[in-house]
């Protein structure tokens, strides 16, 4: 359904971007922010799903700064490689520059929402707080959000967490709620990565409910 093209950040760096377009005129743009596994088949599927819902969906290859065209699976060695890239080789300032470029590019289609998963969930929170031109943000199981609560979101934001998530304890979710009562927080009886049908932790019921809430939220704030 989609295609890959190049986009350039403000510092001149060119990175890859997966883009999926709806059948008719876009209701707006959605920037899909990858997990630590790169813009892989799952993230492309997410983009295709948002395109089917009427949005122009783009997923920037934010690992391109460290290594181009990274596509990982969900085995233990993939997890280690993804963590190495995300924590060891990326500079957050540059990552946010790339996301800003993607947001600005998506404005060709109208208002812009962002949605991120895992590492991308953290980036969705940082983007909502630090970047410009975002009309709504959705963060799925954003690891590290509880350590970044001194920021203030510039747009409405929804967060999805799993009650069985060993990476993000419910005590961290409570910290988010207490620090930011304006943020809508949903908790599901599911594990980390419950939205990804390529993972053992996939939970179809939680994924369906979270997506319906996300689409309703974007329909209200993006188009």
Going along the chain from its start, the domains and CATH numbers come out as 3-221 (3.40.50.1820)
Contacts of 146 (CB under 8 A, 6+ apart): 168, 172, 173, 175, 176
Please state whether beta strands 3-8 and 14-20 pair in parallel, antiparallel, or not at all (unpaired).
antiparallel
Sign of CA dihedral 156, 202, 92, 115: negative
Distances in Å between the Cα of 202 and the Cα atoms of 4, 42, 55, 162 are: 27, 12, 24, 11
- Per-residue pLDDT at 1 exceeds 80: no
Catalytic residues: 118, 165, 192
Contacts of 136 (CB under 8 A, 6+ apart): 111, 113, 114, 155, 156, 157, 158, 217, 218, 220, 221, 222
- Per-residue pLDDT at 56 exceeds 90: yes
pLDDT digits over 111-168, tens only?
A: 999 999 999 999 999 999 999 999 999 999 999 999 999 999 999 999 999 999 999 9
By CB atoms closer than 10 A (0-12, 13-18, 19+), residue 148 is middle
pLDDT at residue 26, as a whole number: 98
pLDDT digits over 193-215, tens only?
A: 999 999 999 999 999 999 999 99
pLDDT at residue 101, as a whole number: 98
Alpha-carbon 204 to chain mean position: 19
pTM of the model: 0.98
pLDDT digits over 64-115, tens only?
A: 999 999 999 999 999 999 999 999 999 999 999 999 999 999 999 999 999 9
Name the band, by pLDDT with cuts 50, 70 and 90, for residue 16: very high
pLDDT at residue 170, as a whole number: 97
pLDDT at residue 53, as a whole number: 98
pLDDT at residue 215, as a whole number: 98
pLDDT at residue 82, as a whole number: 95
Contact 149, 183 (CB under 8 A): no
pLDDT at residue 167, as a whole number: 94
């Amino acid at each position: 359904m989609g295609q890959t093209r190049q986009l350039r950040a403000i510092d001149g760096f060119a990175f890859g971007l997966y883009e999926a377009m709806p059948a008719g005129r876009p209701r707006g743009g959605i920037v899909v922010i990858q997990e630590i596994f790169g813009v892989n088949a799952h993230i492309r599927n997410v983009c295709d799903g948002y395109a089917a819902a009427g949005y122009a969906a783009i997923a920037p290859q934010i690992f391109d700064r460290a290594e181009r065209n990274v596509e990982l699976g969900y085995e233990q060695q993939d997890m280690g490689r993804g963590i190495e890239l995300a924590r060891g080789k990326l500079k957050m300032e540059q990552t946010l520059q790339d996301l800003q470029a993607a947001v600005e590019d998506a404005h060709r289609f109208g208002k812009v929402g962002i949605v991120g998963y895992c590492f991308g969930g953290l980036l969705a929170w940082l983007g909502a707080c630090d970047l410009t031109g975002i009309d709504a943000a959705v963060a799925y199981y954003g690891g590290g959000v509880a350590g970044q609560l001194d920021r203030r979101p510039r747009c409405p934001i929804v967060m999805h967490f799993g009650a069985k998530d060993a990476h993000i304890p419910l005590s961290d979710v409570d910290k988010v709620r207490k620090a930011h009562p304006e943020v809508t927080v949903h908790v599901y009886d599911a594990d980390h990565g419950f939205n990804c049908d390529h993972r053992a932790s996939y939970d179809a019921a939680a994924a369906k409910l979270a997506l319906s809430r996300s689409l309703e939220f974007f329909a209200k704030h993006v188009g």
